[in-house]
Chain A
């Protein structure tokens, strides 16, 4: 407890994030903690499907690669790792980390695994009447298509793991900012009802959780928002004081920038009412947050607040929701626009005659209107367009039929159609319910090389 400032780095902002910047941060960040946030809304449902095919699968497929890259440095420098890469199988993920440690000649590595986010069994037994958020349905309406149900755990669930001597802490679903709040609560001894400090910790976690999105990623706009040395974009770290106020920065010599502008964009990213950011541990309040440039690539963050937490936890449900069949074809040169439009019209008519007219679909011309749809500005004839058709249908063969109809434009469509692509995928959709806190029981399992 003697350290006055805790240094927490962001090692990944999404499942597919780059590994190099995490290594740089581990080596040069003088970190206390390195946090890898890798779990998007439906990732657990996809991972659950993997686990249903293979009992040893269901955790993040990049876990071993990330650990191989950072574990030696982190163990050497005493940097503890926290990650939700456990996904649908945190226990197997923990064993996988130990296996990597063995392979690297680091037998001293201990892993703490946080369990309890998976509430599928509980909800299918006793939660079927729960109303779905943003819907008039209940959980019962999804029951036969349900794949996964995972509660967003709070930082509180990680505290027992942090009191152990584990160097690596693996979780499944945890609220993203809580992965960062947990070490702050642990280190500074913040109480579970110290709403102001918990709110400030959530501000820090929220700023860091998307990694490079605060150092210039998802930001650069040449001539308006220029980002230096972007090819070497670094990941961020926070220097957090016991009060919860913090400085966001990055390691010297890394690319990118940390400015009031990058921090403001990230502060509001995916936020609805800034005064009520619902989290498992606290209702965080960003409405009075102030950001000040205190040095090059250093932004001081103050003014975070918090209010008492709610009585419920959010549970994300993953469920099967049909299939999407998609096909694309390009047209270029004189008349590209007219030929692309003809291609779309042909596919639409052929699908309608095959009985697909009632299915929800998109008929886009990429390069013209695929992104902004009816809001697309009028523009001169494009040099090239790419026709795109996507339909959501009940079965896999129907989705294949959609994709085929686009590809068949080669020999049955307008002149000069090239570069067809097709894809068929199952839709794993996400819905949410709120459950009483008492419905979620968490536990911590220690893994060492002896077990």
Chain B
């Protein structure tokens, strides 16, 4: 099963960090996200794109996880050479995460 089947995502930018929220469509699925979507696995999913540590914050009442991915935006939106300098598209990449 892909993350896309049970959750939606949104990215934002803060300096050279990308923030990435993951929200279960059904609150019942939050436990699965909590268990499988560890900060380390998310970091591995973005290997080569995210070059710093990844932190996770849990918001069970919202059925949501919030990730902060460091050194992820080519120096930040104001100086990045990337086509998507904000990293707006990164949220979609996580949707291909495979849940067991």
Binding site for B on A (CB under 8 A): 41-42, 133-134, 218-219, 221, 224-225, 261, 264-275, 286-291, 303, 321, 324, 360-362, 364, 366, 370-375, 377, 388, 390-392, 427-430, 432
Q: Are B66 and A268 in contact (CB under 8 A)?
A: yes
Residues from chain B with a CB closer than 8 A to the CB of A427 are: 78-79
A360 in contact with B81 (CB, 8 Å): yes
User: Does A261 contact B8, Cβ atoms closer than 8 Å?
Assistant: yes
Interface centre among B21, B93, B96 (most CB of A within 10 A): B21
Most buried by A among B4, B75, B89: B75
Whether the Cβ atoms of B81 and A261 lie closer than 8 Å is no
23 residue pairs from A and B, CB less than 8 Å apart: A221-B8, A225-B8, A261-B23, A264-B23, A265-B10, A265-B23, A266-B10, A268-B10, A268-B23, A268-B66, A269-B12, A269-B21, A271-B19, A271-B21, A287-B59, A321-B79, A360-B81, A361-B81, A362-B83, A370-B84, A372-B93, A375-B45, A427-B79
Is B14's beta carbon under 8 Å from chain A?
yes
Q: Is the pair A392, B83 in contact by a Cβ cutoff of 8 Å?
A: no
Identify the B interface with A (CB < 8 A): 4, 8, 10, 12-17, 19, 21, 23, 25, 45-49, 55, 57, 59, 61-64, 66, 68, 75-79, 81-84, 88-89, 93, 96
Query: Does the CB pair B83–A366 fall under 8 Å?
Result: yes
Closest A-chain residue to B79, C-beta based?
Answer: A429
| B57 in complex: contacting residue of A267, A273, A388, CB < 8 Å | A273
Q: Are B16 and A375 in contact (CB under 8 A)?
A: no
Residues of chain B within 8 A of A273, CB atoms compared: 55, 57, 68
Complex CA–CA separation, A196 to B59 (angstroms): 19
Check A290 against B10 for contact (C-beta < 8 Å): no
Contacts A362-B81, A388-B83 given; does A270 touch B19 at CB 8 Å: yes
Q: Do A371 and B84 touch (CB < 8 A)? A: yes
CA A390 – CA B23 in complex, angstroms?
Answer: 35
Q: How far is the CA of A392 from the CA of B76 in the complex (A)?
A: 14
Chain B residues in 8 Å Cβ range of A377: 96
Let me know if A41 and B59 touch, CB within 8 A: no
The interface residues of chain B lying within 8 Å CB-to-CB of A375 are 45-49, 93
| Complexed CA–CA distance, A392 and B49 (Å) | 19
Q: In the docked arrangement, what's the CA distance between A375 and B93, Å?
A: 8
Chain B residues positioned under 8 Å from A269 (CB to CB): 10, 12, 19, 21
Q: Which residues of B contact A370 (CB under 8 A)?
A: 83-84
CB proximity of A316 to chain B, nearest CB, Å: 10
Min distance, Cβ B16 to any Cβ of chain A, angstroms: 7
A224, B82: Cα distance in complex, Å: 28
Name the B residues within 8 Å of A267 (CB-CB): 62
User: Smallest Cβ distance from B80 to chain A, in angstroms?
Assistant: 9
- Are A224 and B4 in contact, with the CB atoms below 8 A? yes
Chain B residues, CB < 8 A from A324: 81
With known contacts A264-B62, A267-B62, A272-B17, A391–B81 Cβ distance under 8 A = yes
Q: Give Cα A380–Cα B32 distance, bound, in whole angstroms.
A: 33
Q: Which residues on A sit within 8 Å (CB–CB) of B21?
A: 264-265, 268-269, 271
Shortest C-beta distance, A311 to chain B (Å), equals 21
Set of chain B residues within 8 Å of A265, measured between Cβ atoms? 8, 10, 21, 23
Contact A392 B19, beta carbon cutoff 8 Å: no
With both chains docked as a complex, state the minimum distance between the C-beta of A242 and any C-beta of chain B, in angstroms: 24
For A364, what are the chain B residues with a Cβ–Cβ distance below 8 Å? 83
Q: Which residue of A lies closest to B63 (CB)?
A: A264
A42 and B78 in contact (CB under 8 A), knowing A218-B10, A271-B19, A288-B61?
A: yes
Does A134 lie within 8 Å of B12, measured CB to CB? no
CB < 8 Å neighbour of B14 from A270, A374, A428: A270
Report whether A373 and B15 are in contact in the complex, using a CB–CB cutoff of 8 Å: no
| CA–CA, A361 and B84, complex, Å | 14
Instruction: Indicate if the CB atoms of A271 and B81 lie closer than 8 Å.
Output: no
- A133: B residues at CB distance < 8 A: 15
**A221-B8, A225-B8 as given contacts; A270 in contact with B48, CB under 8 Å:** no
Q: Chain A's nearest CB lies how many Å from the CB of B91?
A: 9
User: Is B77 in contact with A41, judged by CB distance below 8 angstroms?
Assistant: yes
CB-CB under 8 A from A274, the residues of chain B are 57, 59, 66
Q: Which residues of A have CB within 8 Å of B46?
A: 375
Q: What is the bound-complex CA distance between A274 and B81, given in angstroms?
A: 29
B93 CB to closest chain A CB (Å) equals 6
CB neighbours (8 Å) of A266 from chain B are 10
Which has the most chain B C-beta neighbours within 10 Å: A272, A274, A362, A374? Answer: A272
Q: Which residues of A contact B78 (CB under 8 A)?
A: 41-42, 321, 427-430
> In the assembled complex, which residues on chain A have CB atoms less than 8 Å from the CB atom of B25?
261
Contacts of B17 in A (CB 8 A): 272
User: Which residues of A are found within 8 Å of B23, using beta-carbon distances?
Assistant: 261, 264-265, 268
Query: Which of B10, B13, B64, B88 is the most central at the interface, judged by chain A CB atoms within 10 Å of its CB?
Result: B10
B10 to chain A, nearest CB (A): 4
Q: Does the CB pair B66–A390 fall under 8 Å?
A: no
**Complex CA distance for A133 and B88, rounded to whole angstroms:** 23
